[in-house]
Structure 1
Amino acid sequence: MLKRWLQLPETRMTDILYGIVIHRFGSIGPADQHFRYLISSTACVPEKWTALPELLDWMADMNLTGTKARNELEQSSLNWLCCLTGFGWCELGSTPEGIPCFRWTAAKPKLISGIELLSDSMAENSNVQFIVQPDFEVLIPPEVPYIVRWILGKCSELLQTDTMWSFRLTREKLEHASERGMPPEEVIAWIKDHALGGLPSVVELSLEQWGKSIGRTSLSEVILLTCQTEEDGLAIAAHPRLQDSLKRIGPLHFLVSPESVEQMRKELFLAGLAPSRMMGGREEEVNADWTSFHQQAETEQDVYSLPVLNAELRLLHSGNPFLNLPVISPEQEEDILLGGENVPQIWSKEWRHYHSSTAEKVMEQGLKWGIKVRFSLKDQMLDFIPSRIKGNPWKVAGHLLYNDGETVEEIELTPEDWKEMKLVIPKRRRNSSSAEPSDYGMIEKSTDFGRTLT
C-alpha cells in the first residue's frame, strides 16, 4: 500500500487526500454539502477571489440552502474554508468593507468521483530522473515521484524540500543504507539507473571507495540480565522455558540474546520477575524496520486506490461513508483472540479437568490476556482473576470472586487446589454512544444548475 501511494504523482496524492477530507470532516447538512461541492467545481478557478456572501446569495436563489439560517450557513462555510486554508489549498481575505472573500491556491485539488485508473499517470513518472552534480548534491525536479525520494532518503542526506528538493551523497548515509539492507553496490547501481546524464565519475569513484570499507567487520550485541537476589537467580536458571534464551555467567547475571528478549519478558512476567523497560538507564528502543522498494519490480497491478464504497454514498448521504465499517460479532472476536497465538480453543469452550502442567498454562494465559479463569473450588464454581505467578514451586496469586457478588478474597493457589477450569472470554460488547443523525425531509426540484434538494 505504501509503495503504491508513493508511486502516485503529487497532484493525484492531493486529489485523493481532498476526497477523504471532504467526506470525512465536512458537515452532513444538505446546504453545507452543496457549498463544498459547489466551490470544488471548475466554476471556482484557482487564484481568483470570490466574495462569500455573493456565492451564498446565489445558493439561496437556487434553493440550495434549505431551511438553514443564513448566519449559520455563513459561519459553517467560513469554518470549512479555514480548514482548506490549513491544508494549503485555499486563502481567506476580506474587502475594505469587511466582506469575507476566498480563493483557491494554484494547488487546488480535483474532486475525484468513483474509481479512476492511475496507470497512465504513473507511467508518465516512471522515467523521470534526478540530477547528480560533481559536488555530490542530488537535485530533484518537482515531477520526480515520491518513491524515488523515499529511496534517496535512505542512502543520502536530505538538504531542502522546497520546490526543488535536494540531497547530498555522504559516506555516513552510505553506511546507514548498508545497515538497513541496501549494500553500497546496490546504492551505486540504483543511482546510476536514475541519474539524468549518468553518474559523474568523481562521484562514482568516491562511492566505490567508501563502499570498500563498509561491512568488513561487525559487532554483536548481547543484553545482561541482573537479579536482585541469588534466590531469583536460581529460580530463573531452573525455569524450563528459558533454558535456550539465557546463559548464566554468575550467581546474579545472565546473558540474553536480543532476539530472545520478548520471550524472556513474557516468561519472567508470568513468574512475577518482570524486568524494567529501562536498559542501561534508557528506555528500551523498539526496532522499526525501514521499508525499501529499490529491489521491487513495478507492475501494472500496483495501483493505489481507496477502499470501494457503496455507490449510494454520494452527496446526499446522511452519514460519513468512512465510518461505515463492518462490526465483527462476539463469536468472531473470540476466534480472533484465541487464534492470534495458537491457543487451544478447548481452554475456553469446555469445562474440564487438566493435568497440573496444562492447568498452569491455562492460568498463565488468563493472566497474560487479563481475563478471568473459572474453576471448581471449595465445592463451588468460582471466578478467579490472576495477578501474579510464582515459580519453584508454581503458585498463582490473585482475587477470588464469590457468587454473592460482594465477597472478594485475595488468595494464593496451586494447580492441586482446583478441579475443572476454563478461560472466561468477555462476551459483553461496548455499545456506541453516538446516535445516527435523523434524515432530512427534502423535495427534489429541477433547476438550471442541476438536481437540487430543498
Structure 2
Amino acid sequence: MNRDELPHTTRPVLQEAETQVLTRVWQCFAGQPFDDAELSALSVPPLSGAEVLAAVTGLVRSGELQSAPKAWGERWFYIPENHLAALQEQFYELPPEIYAAAEPALKQEAAPGLPRDVLQALLFLHQEGGLELTARGTIHKRQLQKLNRLKTGLQPEHVYALGVSDQHPDLYPPVAAVLLDLLLTLGLVREQAGSLRLDSKAVRAWLALPEESMHALIFQQVLNRYGAPSVPLQHFRRLLCCRKLSPHAWIKGDVLVASIAGFQAKPAAMESVTAGAQAWMNFMAAAGWADIGQCEQGRPWLSLRLPGHALLSPPRGPIDESSLSIQPCLYVQPDGDILVLPDAPLSVHWDVARCAERLSEDRITTYRLTRESLQAAARQGYSAGEMLNGLMRYSLSGIPESVADAVQLWGQSDVAASPESSADREKLHCSEAAGQSAAPEQAGITKNLHTRGFALQKGLIHHDHLVERLEPDFNVPYADALFPGLKDIPRSWTRELRSYHRSTAEKLMETALGWRMALELGAAESVVRFIPLQHEPAPWKMTGLLYEQESAAPRRVVLGAEDWPRLRILLPLSCE
C-alpha cells in the first residue's frame, strides 16, 4: 500500500508510555526511519526496553508510527510525514529568547519568489515551443543555456549549498535544474515526441491558483527532496513552519538550531548543522519565503514573509475563471512600457509577457512592447485583437493610441499565419490533447493532485531519503512474539511481589534481563524499580538502574542474590 493511500483517522488517545516513546522518537529521528537495532538502543527513562518496544508496537497499531519490512525478518519504523507537524506542535516549545528585540542588518532580501521563477520558465517554453530532447533524453545545450540565463531570484550558490544532486549534474546548471525539476513535479510539462512541452490544461489550472497556493505547492515539493535527510536539519526546516512562530518578526536562527541540538542521543556536529541551517535559510530567501538578517555578532536571523504553517497547509484549489473578476492592475505607457502593480495575479503577468519583454522586476514589474515581442506573440497564435483586449481589460488608464496602432501593425494576423508560426502553434498546443488522458502507470501517483489539475511527476533533483523507498504494512507482532516464552513462566513471577529460593530468584531476574523488562524489588517497607542491564555469573551479580521512590533519577547499582527479599517482573501494560 502506498503511503498516500494509508487510512486517515482521528488520532487515538495514547497511554502515558506511548506518549513518552513517541516524544523521544520524534526528537531522535524526526521523519527518518529507524531499525530494530536503533529501537533497542533508544533510551526513554524511566521506561524499560520492553516497555519501549511494547509502546512502539502500540503506536504502529494506532497509526502514530508506520512499519515496513527490512531484511531477515527485521523491520523499519518511522513517523508518517502527515503527522510530523502535529507532533511538532505538541512536543516542541519555542525558546523564550527566540525573537530579536532589535532590527538586524539585512543580508539577503526575499526574492520575488519561486512562483515568479516558474512563470519565467513557462514563458520560455511557450516562446520556444518546447524543449527538444537528445537521444540520451537530455535537453539540447543551446536551449539549456538560454533557460539558465532567465532572470530569477534563485542563484547557483543557493542550490549548491543545499548539497542536492540531479540526474545529470554534468549537463544541467543548478538554476536550470531547479526550474526543470519544478516544471516536471508540478506536472506543467510532459514528454511528447522527443521534447518537453507545456501541458496547456495544467498551465491554465496553475495560473488560476492564488499565489500563496503556488508557494505552498512548491514548498511541499522541495521541503524533503531539496532538504538534507539529517535529523537536526529536518527538525530545523519544519520548525520554521511552526504555528507558534510569528511571521514578519525577526527569529534568531542560531537559537532555533541550539534548541534542537540536544534532541538526539548522539548529537550531530554543530558546525555541519549550523551550515546546513544557513543554507536552508538562504534558499528560503531566494524562494521568496523569508528575509535573512545578521546581528552584530554575525549570527543569522530570519523573518518569514509568509506564515510557515501556511506553506505546509493544503493549498486552495484553482479559481473558477468564469466567475473570476481581475481588477485593473497595470498601466500602459505611450512609449510601450507596461507597469504591472505588485498585487497583480500571475495570470496577468502571463498574458502580458506573452507579447512583451520583461525589463525589470521590483515592487513594480516593467515590460515593454517591441516589434520583436509582438511578432513573436503573433507567431505563437496570440492575435493583435487578443493582445489589445487583454491589455484593455487589465489597464487602469486605457491604451494610448500610439500603442494600439503599433500592436495592430506588428501583431497582424498574416504574421501569425506564416508557415513557421503554424508549426510553432501546433508544437505548443498539441500537448493539451495529450494531457486529457494520463498514462496508466501515472494514475496512482497523480491521483492526489488531479483535483487541482496537476499531475505529479518525477523530478530531477533529490536527496536520498530512505523513507521514500519503504512500503509500509500493518504486520505488528503481539506479546508472545515480542517476548518468546512469556506464556510458559509461572504467573506468580509477574503477579506477586514475593520471595523465592535463591536459584529461582536468579532465574527470574535473568529472564527479565533477556526480555529487557523492569523488576519491582521489595525490602522491608520500601519498594523500588530496577532495570537489569548486565549479568555476571560467578559470583552471581546483576548490574542495573535503580529507581527509588524519592528520586526521579536512577542510580547504577550492582546487586547480589541477598539484596532483594521480594521481587516480581513488571510487564508492559499491553502484556498484562
TM-score range, shorter chain: 0.3 to 0.5
Larger RCO (alpha carbons 8 Å, 6+ apart)? 2
The alignment's TM-score, normalised by the length of structure 1, stands at: 0.43
TM-score, normalization by structure 2: 0.35
Higher helix share: 2
